[in-house]
Structure 1
Amino acid sequence: MINCWSWWWKVENNRDELARTILTIFVPTLVFLWYIYTVPSTQYGRTRLPPGPYGLPVFGYLPFLSSNLHERFSEMAHKYGPIFSLWLGSKLHVVVNSMDLAKVVVRELDQTFANRNPPITALTITYGGIDVAWSNNTQWRKMRKLLVSQVLSNSNLDACQDFRVNEVRKTVRNVYAKMGTKVNINEIAFDTELNVVTSMLWGRGDFGGILDGFREVEFKIVELLGEPNISDFIPMLSRFDLQGRQKETQNQFEKLDRVFDHIIEKRINLNSRKVGGAVDVRKDFLQIMLELKDQKDPSTPIDIDQIKALLFDVLAAATDTASTMVEWVMAEILKHPDVKTKIQEELTEIIGMNNIVEEYHLPKLKYLDAVVKETFRMHPPLPLLIQRCPDESCTMGGYTIPKGSIVYMNIWAIQRDPKNWINPLEFKPDRFLDQKLDYSGNDLKFLPFGSGRRICPGISLGEKMLMYILASLLHSFEWSVPKNEEFELSDEFGFVTKKRKPLVAIPSQRLVDAKFYF
């Protein structure tokens, strides 16, 4: 039985309870306004919308969605077909659940579906939607070009190799000091990623502990991005912020903005003290962006808020998503001892027990790469990706997709579809040894980073860091699950879908000589 209200209305505090009470009392008024201003059944006349369930006046199908949307949408696809639509509040949502229809979105009509419809929380945290993830059209192209050319180019990633090496080895030292005790896998991966990325973005200057507590702030932001907000579904109520989502997002945004202001101000002050050309240092991303801002080049106009929005994009994608995947991969490895054994055999053969992992080893670790890809297949961090919004009405699968509707690609379903995969519910890394699939999105049955023009631009950095951290942790240590603790692999849906119960594991020394840990 469906647990009504379970997805879109999690009662977590008194304000949530009060907001639900207010809505319940004023439902008759809302129904009346709904009939006056927006009647979904007639809004698009006689256009042939994808099939889908009926909903309630005002609320649409909102009260009937269970907590794990990716799983619920997969169940609905069995009833309504590979494409279906549903009204959530006053907005039409379309869900694509098959590889063939995903091809229409990211290939045939890629430009039509390239826009976003940002929720209020996303607009708040990204300075009005001026970043890469949520911006549209010209703004998106400009920001993506800056990000790719100045941070994520192959030459820049190669130049930042020392950052990755130093931080991963520091992590190994830290874990070595905790051997025999419980270690939170997500936490150590997050800290490693954060140190690498901040070094790339603004260098290793002394910022006085400004990033203390950043993990908690970012986790809360990502949580808010994934929480349903009645203000998004029924815009006439947005001014009231009934669930307090916008207020809480604004609080987290102000914390984040203070961090960026502090770092940017410190860099500007440092620049002003330099004598022209006297100091020769490698320019990081922030320095390059500030110089572009000061040049006021009409071909690449950029202001401080746009710089901050880009900083947030890189930080969020390279830390929260990557650390989540390190946790999922380690969980699957600990769940499957035979997989763990094969990985260790490969590490011993390629690297040796009298050596440490170097980046040049990574392309040779074919089985570990297959394990990572199989984990992405079964646990995509964004199971519905980021929603798309067609800028004009179009046809897909014989149905009309109206302009302005919100379109999800359920890659969780596509990557578990028995039409695409043999025994899709089994964790079988060998399937990626038999077929050479990568993260480019060219093969539409495997889309963990999306595909088309809105594909994630940070794939190269993410892949390097994920493989390097995992190889180093698995080569340097034996890992075991604490005794008398339940081990499970259930997930919790959100903007980034995480492991419901954080993974803790106990490391012990694997390499013979302790010198390899220092």
Structure 2
Amino acid sequence: MAMSLLYLFLITFVSLIFVCKKIKSSKWNLPPSPPTLPVIGNLHQVGELPHKSLQHLAARTGHVMLLHFGFVPVTVFSSKEAAEEVLRTHDLDCCSRPKLVGSRLLSRGFKDIGFTPYGEEWKERRKFAVRELFCLKKVQSFRHIREEECNILVKKLTESAVDRSPVDLSKSLFWLTASILFRVVCGQSLDESKFIDKDKVDELVFEAETALGSFTCSDLFPIAGLGWLVDWLSGQHKRLNDVFFKLDALFQHVIDDHSNPERSKDHEDIIDIMLDVMFKQRKDDSLKQDHEDIIDHIKGFLTNIFIAGIDTGAITMTWAMTELVKNPKLMKKVQDKIRDSLGNNKVRITEEDIHKVPYLNLVVKETFRLHPAVPLVSRETMAHIKIQGYDILPKRQILVNVYAIGREPKLWRNPEEFNPERFIDNPVDYRGQHFELLPFGSGRRICPGMAMGMATVELGLLNLLYFFDWKLSDGMTHKDIDVEEAGTLTVVKKVPLKLVPVRVH
């Protein structure tokens, strides 16, 4: 009897909340919404691939739509025009981030760049990152690392080519981006790292992305600790804390190693730079940061770089190779253009070679369009604005569906077809100024590591396509290559891409 009364009270309480919200919001011209269920709202309509679920809902509801994830209203934008209003016209009012449980924990209480809400502290960190870590001069200073790691990959693939054995290209490309990042950030080779097992890096990245990309009841039902209790009972808090402690242990080991005065180093890496600059700033009397606070900020930065920097480049290269293998004629055309431009006698590819093959950039753009590694751009409004005539209220979570925009038939002819030549004589670019192609976002929150990411992707693909032809395993044809997706925060090829390399040059 007591439990029945409790359930009746909860249902009545929740129903009153919805009625009050409806009365309060009736004076606004809110975006249309698909039908909702009590309490959970539209959660039942969001499947394992949220970007696809939201694309299908938008096709029925509208390119600007209001959803309810539990008690949290979320506005989703799925058109170029709406994206431009959000990310350019109203960028200043839409450039904050929601304070979610997972992002708060992994960013160490919002001491990073990626998840910190907009404000003076975020602006200072962003300036620091652009000036000290990701400026063009700094990106170019790490060029030799990218070239050396690509050369190592070519040697490993050549060994597999001797006996014509298939390689897991998805994993090989993940290790390539991870190896480059570890040397750039930590100053040490991933193969020789004392702090992490190379074979467990992908597992850790996956766990971190899952933690950040998953819903928690605390975020969806922020009512007097009820959501927290459900997260605790379901084990969600434990999973988040497990990832936090794994990342924290890794970063602490690396920072301790960099603090050793006897440490030998080949180059000044990103951790060297952060330690040097941040502790120099500490001497300024106006800055009251203690040692622990500075270390927390460095770990927050490292979390952003680790999660955003490793997986996205590997995902882009994997999708590009997948689409080319699916289309043998296009693969041959791309390789012919590369080999004609570079000749047949190169022993090693350098970044100067990238500019000799403009067609490769078209392939990368088309991969960004069809397979954006991060399909949903997340923001939070800081003021009441109007988008496409609809009222978007303050503190409203917003999502720009980059995936849906990239497959919009009104923008792209035959949008499901992989066709790099659609970008010939086409001014559309990926740097955030063209809102039909937003792989790095746009506006104040655009990815600061864009130049470094592009350098890795183009150099990696150039090595794969110049030195090797790619065959399928026995019994397979190009029609057997699937494009099934998996993931939430980032979207990977669900079935790893396994191909047989054939050394050509």
TM-score w.r.t. structure 2 length? 0.90
Aligned residue among 257, 261, 270 for 1:266: 257
Q: Percent identity?
A: 28
Q: Which residue of 1 aligns with 2:41?
A: 60
Q: Which residue of 2 aligns with 1:490?
A: 484
Give the Å deviation of 1:75. 2.1
Q: Which residue of 2 aligns with 1:231?
A: 218
Task: Return closer, same or farther for 1:395/1:77 CA change in 2, 3 Å cut-off.
Answer: same
Structure 2 Cα separation of the partners of residues 135 and 63 of structure 1: 29
Structure 2 Cα separation of the partners of residues 499 and 190 of structure 1: 12
Q: Which residue of 1 aligns with 2:73?
A: 92
Aligned residue among 155, 170, 174 for 2:156: 174
One-letter code aligned to 2:403:
W
One-letter code aligned to 1:182:
P
Name the SS of the counterpart of 1:94 in structure 2. strand
Give the Å deviation of 1:232. 1.5
- Are residue 208 (structure 1) and residue 194 (structure 2) matched? yes
One-letter code aligned to 2:115:
W
Task: Return closer, same or farther for 1:419/1:255 CA change in 2, 3 Å cut-off.
Answer: same
Task: Return closer, same or farther for 1:249/1:280 CA change in 2, 3 Å cut-off.
Answer: closer
One-letter code aligned to 2:227:
S
Q: Considering only aligned residues, what root-mean-square deviation do their CA atoms show, in Å?
A: 2.3
One-letter code aligned to 1:504:
K
One-letter code aligned to 2:276:
E
- Are residue 340 (structure 1) and residue 331 (structure 2) matched? yes
One-letter code aligned to 1:463:
M
Q: Is the 8 A contact 2:187 2:266 kept in 1?
A: no
Q: Is the 8 A contact 1:189 1:326 kept in 2?
A: yes
One-letter code aligned to 1:362:
I
Q: Which residue of 2 aligns with 1:358?
A: 350
Structure 1 Cα separation of the partners of residues 265 and 62 of structure 2: 61
Q: Aligned pair count?
A: 482
Structure 1 Cα separation of the partners of residues 405 and 288 of structure 2: 38
Deviations 1:267-321 (A, max 9, x none): 11x23x58xxxx9974322122212332214479671111011112112222111
Q: Which residue of 2 aligns with 1:12?
A: none
Task: Return closer, same or farther for 1:25/1:458 CA change in 2, 3 Å cut-off.
Answer: farther
Aligned residue among 131, 136, 160 for 1:154: 136
One-letter code aligned to 2:196:
I
Task: Return closer, same or farther for 1:68/1:150 CA change in 2, 3 Å cut-off.
Answer: same
| Structure 1: stretches of 5+ with no match in the other structure | 1-22, 512-518
Give the Å deviation of 1:72. 2.2
Q: Is the 8 A contact 1:151 1:200 kept in 2?
A: no
- Are residue 128 (structure 1) and residue 123 (structure 2) matched? no
- Are residue 401 (structure 1) and residue 388 (structure 2) matched? no
Q: Which residue of 1 aligns with 2:206?
A: 219
Name the SS of the counterpart of 1:400 in structure 2. strand
Q: Which residue of 2 aligns with 1:516?
A: none
Higher mean displacement: 292-301 or 259-268: 292-301
Name the SS of the counterpart of 1:388 in structure 2. strand
One-letter code aligned to 2:122:
W
One-letter code aligned to 2:201:
F
Q: Which residue of 2 aligns with 1:383?
A: 375
Aligned residue among 11, 20, 23 for 1:31: 11
Q: Is the 8 A contact 2:195 2:250 kept in 1?
A: no
Deviations 1:142-179 (A, max 9, x none): 22222222221111111111111111101111111222
Q: Is the 8 A contact 1:185 1:326 kept in 2?
A: no
Aligned residue among 179, 182, 194 for 1:195: 179
Aligned residue among 126, 131, 140 for 1:144: 126
Q: Is the 8 A contact 2:380 2:395 kept in 1?
A: yes
Give the Å deviation of 1:238. 2.8
Q: Is the 8 A contact 2:147 2:349 kept in 1?
A: no
Higher mean displacement: 292-301 or 99-108: 292-301
Give the Å deviation of 1:209. 4.6
One-letter code aligned to 1:130:
K
Structure 2 Cα separation of the partners of residues 173 and 135 of structure 1: 41
Aligned residue among 233, 242, 249 for 2:240: 249
Deviations 1:215-251 (A, max 9, x none): 2111111122222323221122332114322210210
Structure 2 Cα separation of the partners of residues 226 and 26 of structure 1: 33
Name the SS of the counterpart of 2:91 in structure 1. coil
Q: Is the 8 A contact 2:208 2:307 kept in 1?
A: no
Name the SS of the counterpart of 2:380 in structure 1. coil
Give the Å deviation of 1:400. 1.0
Deviations 1:340-378 (A, max 9, x none): 111111121111221032110101212121111101101
Task: Return closer, same or farther for 1:427/1:29 CA change in 2, 3 Å cut-off.
Answer: farther
Q: Which residue of 2 aligns with 1:374?
A: 366
One-letter code aligned to 1:210:
I
Deviations 1:56-85 (A, max 9, x none): 221111123333222222222222222110
Aligned residue among 167, 170, 173 for 1:183: 167
Q: Is the 8 A contact 1:83 1:95 kept in 2?
A: yes
Q: How does 1:39-118 map to 2 (within 5 A)?
A: 39=19, 40-118=21-99
Q: Which residue of 2 aligns with 1:460?
A: 451
Task: Return closer, same or farther for 1:243/1:142 CA change in 2, 3 Å cut-off.
Answer: farther
Name the SS of the counterpart of 2:152 in structure 1. helix
| Structure 2: stretches of 5+ with no match in the other structure | none
Structure 2 Cα separation of the partners of residues 191 and 460 of structure 1: 20
